[in-house]
Amino acid sequence: MSRITLTMVVSILAAAMVACGGAPSGVGDPEIGEEIYRTNLEDEPGQHACSECHSLGQSGPFGPSFQGISEIAGERVAGMTAEEYLRESIANPSAFIVEGYHDNLMPKVYGEILSEEEINHLIAFMLSQ
Ligand code: HEC
């Protein structure tokens, strides 16, 4: 395929995705992210939704608040963007422990039970806070 044909195909695909209302891959929808944030993802008694540990206001009840997380996330680990840090915090919470909190609270299963798309939605939601 020539370069021009390839460019055309890519533009048509991009236009089609916009027309269908679908977000381009890698970009989440903050509203869907908020739904996921309020859902008990492990679907078992005794397990918690993100929102039961992370508030959007004052810190707590069990984890740091997401208030201002879009700003804070990019400053947590040198060399990591906010998005990279949030992705890692979901998939591998032990990689960085927020000061004053314990490593044993945040569930470590999200990297396995959530799809990449669901994680993208969660990240978009957190970046809107
Ligand atoms: C049972 C409580 C609990 C649940 C449920 C939970 N977390 Fe956490 N989370 C924590 C705790 C405690 C910390 C701080 C310790 C650490 O850094 O791992 C944390 C840290 C984080 C951080 C880093 C915050 C910062 O200020 O740097 C992010 C991002 C995060 N969690 C996202 C999520 C998301 C998204 C979900 C749901 C899919 C979730 N957490 C579910 C307890 C929880």
Q: How many CB atoms lie within 10 A of CB 7?
A: 11
Name residue 61's beta-bridge partners. Answer: 54
The C-alpha atoms of residue 13 and residue 6 are separated, in whole angstroms, by 11
For residues 63 and 101, the answer to whether their CB atoms sit within 8 Å is yes
Range of the domain at 64: 28-127
pLDDT (average), residues 93-117: 94
Residue 71, domain CATH? 1.10.760.10
Considering the domain boundaries, does residue 10 fall inside one? no
The closest residue, in CA terms, to atom 20 on ligand 1 is 63
The closest residue, in CA terms, to atom 39 on ligand 1 is 50
- Asked if pLDDT for residue 23 goes beyond 50, the answer is no
Asked if residue 123 has its Cβ within 6 Å of ligand 1, the reply is no
Considering the domain boundaries, does residue 19 fall inside one? no
Residue 64 Cα to ligand 1 middle (Å): 7
Q: Structural domain tally of the chain?
A: 1
- Asked if pLDDT for residue 127 goes beyond 80, the answer is yes
Residue 46, burial from CB neighbour count under 10 angstroms (0-12, 13-18, 19+): exposed
pLDDT (average), residues 44-57: 93
